[in-house]
Amino acid sequence: MVKVSVGVPVYNVAEYLRQCLDSIKQQSFQDFEVIMVDDGSTDNSFEICQEYTFKDKRFKLYHQENKGLAGARNTCLKHMNGEYVTWVDSDDWIEVNYLKNLVMEQIRTQADIVSMGFKMFGNGKYYIVGEDISKKYGELQDNIIPKERALADMFNNGEYFLLHMWGNLIDVNLYRGFVCSEDVMYEDTGNKFKLFLQSKKNVGLPKLDYVYRIRENSIVGQANDTKSFNKMIKGRMSVISNIEKLIYYLDISKVEVDEIGEGANKSLTEFLDYSDDWTEIEKNENKNYILRRKKLINDAINN
């Protein structure tokens, strides 16, 4: 069995794809397979992926009609054979020791989930997100992140930025029965917590070997278009749906996390903000929807 399965969902990223795949191929740790799923690309992304399958048998390619990012992840999971799973989004890339550092930390700690910090790249420059995440991981005793802390981190890119599917190494056993919710925005937020619920030990590795590319036409960039009422409401509805889903899973799992209520209320309060371009009807519609969901969520938390 291969040690690590690297999942790479692919959709119309020809401009960046070779950098992504080359960064995986050039890893100092070489016991891996790469599962690429072309999600109905209309550019030449599929042909680029084919080049890598011809040259390296560890690269495996599957094609499907467009199902969205979550649908591509689900297809990746069906074909993975590794002991551990990591994800690399096809417009991002990883530093040469990314896999080595994750694997060595898992061996050292025997953790189910090893999360690594990341840096962002845009306009030809690198950026550190908020406070340096690697320093925060380094402040933890033996790098251990308590499960309750990890679950609370699912809101607003919390203190340790754990909600992303990428940037970590996860025991494949945690993915048994796991399915990414499809046809929703912010699929990371609505799915990652399921893995933390099953994990027994989580650690944060104080390194920044994952590089997240900032680009305007990404899914997140489109969702954050604050001038469009319909887009913004759709995004907020997705986030609220994910909050409600998390609360439901915590309830049936009998896991209590005090910070969940605080995080949920913070998110919902921020959603009361509106764009100056919205009409009064749109502003009121947003306000009424948020306040209604806020009451229902707090009733569920307090019962």
- The full set of domain ranges for the chain reads 4-215, 225-302
Question: What is the structure's pLDDT at 277?
Answer: 86
Q: Strand pairing of 32-38 and 59-63?
A: parallel
According to DSSP H, which parts of the chain are helical? 14-25, 45-55, 68-78, 98-109, 133-139, 147-152, 192-198, 219-223, 229-253, 259-270, 280-302
Per-10-residue mean pLDDT for the chain, 303 residues long?
A: 97 97 98 98 98 98 95 96 98 98 97 94 85 78 90 75 93 94 73 91 94 73 58 81 78 71 79 86 90 85 74
Amino acid (one-letter) located at 302: N
Question: What is the structure's pLDDT at 157?
Answer: 57
- What single-letter DSSP state applies at residue 24? H
Task: Measure Cα distances from 136 to 13, 48, 196, 227, 263 in Å.
Answer: 32, 38, 19, 34, 19
Question: What is the structure's pLDDT at 274?
Answer: 81
Instruction: State the number of CA atoms in the 13 A half-sphere of 228 facing the CB.
Output: 11
Beta carbons of 113 and 174 less than 8 angstroms apart: yes
Question: What is the structure's pLDDT at 136?
Answer: 83
Task: Measure Cα distances from 108 to 103, 140, 141, 143, 203 in Å.
Answer: 9, 15, 14, 11, 11
Question: What is the structure's pLDDT at 156?
Answer: 57
d(CA 142, CA 165): 23
Angle at 141 between CA 190 and CA 266, to 5 degrees: 35
Torsion of CA 7, 241, 258, 301, to 10 degrees: -150
Torsion of CA 206, 170, 191, 92, to 10 degrees: 60
Phi, psi of 146 (to 5 degrees): -55, 145
Superfamily of domain 4-215: Spore Coat Polysaccharide Biosynthesis Protein SpsA; Chain A (3.90.550.10)
